Structure 1
Amino acid sequence: MMESVTFNSGSNVLTGHVYLPEGYDPQLRYPAVVCSGSWTTVKEQMAGLYAKRLAEKGYLCLAFDFTGFGESEGEPRFYEHPEQKIKDIHHAISYLLTRKDVEQEAIATLGICAGSMYTLMEASQDERVKAVATVASWLHDAEAVKLFYGGEDGVKSRIEAAQQAKKHYAQTNEVLYIPTISKTDSTAAMYGDYDYYLNPSRGAVPNWSADKFAVMSWEDWLALDPMPSASNLNTPTLMVHSDGCVLPQYTKNYFEKIPVADKKLHWVETDLPSPVHQFMFYDQNAEVSMAVELVEQWFGLHLRT
């Protein structure tokens, strides 16, 4: 069972899908989970899939479109704005707490890929989150982004382009865009044969934009460093990763800095090279089922009393 909902995040109205537990009874209260997917994504992609699968395990789960994406309000459109996304997750939790069918002291958050950065950073400053989990986490810093975006010169040129795009927007109200994904255009935000984002039977869903990534996003994205937030994360934390996912050492580094003893790093064995295994966790049944089982067990320990 799934219902469409709306809630406020600042001055914008966000749209989400609430997946209801098996055997749902509106008179009962359920542990609840906010699910967040990778950068640029919408609720119909990995966030919705994990929300649906966790609902089948007895959780009330929310997947939603972040500000400026999908069916949610917000300008500029398709602007990957980490600070705003962290605020959106905060407001998503606030929305869940208004529901009579949610157990107030049993809220968890789940992040997949880049959603892990936003989820972990939000949890590190929000005591309402009682448990957090990440799957195939994308965690970067100033050195890591050089590996993906053309070294120091590539990062610098993208940041400069973003700064110019912000000035252009302030002066003209026009947003400059590049493709989100392309196999032929090297200026695209994701340049390569990434089947998940190119295949309509996988992640290339109608509500997602393959051709609009706001150039102004580069500055906010590349300057983001979630790593210091680990030392402030006092929430029971599960991280699921593998050597075939992106930046495996960064997930290990982040995990080591989490100060609580109540934490778990589940390392999945794979022969797949990085980042091939990353995309498997977005929608392939074997990886998703494995991750959902691990996450459900973790949330069960900390949300069900």
Structure 2
Amino acid sequence: MLGFITRPHQLLSLLCTGLRLPRLSVLCTQPRLGAMAVSSSSWELPLVAVCQVTSTPNKQKNFKTCAELVQEAARLGACLAFLPEAFDYIARNPEETLRLSEPLYGSLLGQYSKLARECGIWLSLGGFHERGQDWDQTQKIYNCHVLLNSEGLVVATYRKTHLCDVEIPGQGPMRESNSTMPGSNLELPISTPAGKIGLSICYDIRFPELSLKLAQAGAEILTYPSAFGSVTGPAHWEVLLRARAIESQCYVVAAAQCGRHHETRASYGHSMVVDPWGTVVACCSEGPGLCLARIDLNFLQQIRQNLPVFQHRRPDLYGNLGDPLS
């Protein structure tokens, strides 16, 4: 489903002219008005696309689905398309996860590089099962967020630092560390046609220190490609995304997995874009599809100017909880 929730200045002509989208329909809702007016013309603002898919263990079928969404995003004028965590595949067990993995410059990333080049679009590949240089020693992989430019070149990689080892009643256990190694560092924000992007992945959203560090390093857009489950999704997904946007005063873009991947795993969906005021400006529902949003950096700067929380921070205190003030 192609969905929009927009502020008036972001309203896309697509809603008025109609869309010729096979297998996709349009969902329009009443806008939730932000608290601040913006002077930018919507036609001057970069357009981003957020792709929602249901990955399976079939890598080529997954690529075909993702490629169709990316091609549609490019046709609609997006400069950057975001794909979710595990866009390449979601396996049935850790053994299959390892068997299907590839090195960063293997055949699958080669296909995505060609896709980006042919479509002339940047791609945020939100969680690639990467066989790193230590594969022979560890026999484990990395959950790697790859950013490709419109020439198909890798301009940034971020390896997930917080691994999801949790046991949620009703959702089933998750032991990411059974097959995955944690990354050892954060990636500096990367300049793109939509703004400076700070990279992260799924479970990282629960650690606000990461988003604050990325914002302090210059990020204007935070991205959380994810595969939230059916229990944590309804309870925490939108709340966490809006909280990260508000506290960091950044746009938050979250491409998500949706639906049933195989017999033992399903994801919540509801991919969305949140603006720096905490308003959901675009979202998908449960099924595969995409949503579109315009990124207004003037609006972001206005919020940061009117509510200068980063100037008011007290890092001299935060590491000394319980110590008396000097």
TM-score w.r.t. the length of structure 2 is: 0.34
Which has a greater percent of strand? 2
Relative contact order higher in (CA < 8 Å, ≥ 6 apart): 2
Which has a greater percent of helix? 1
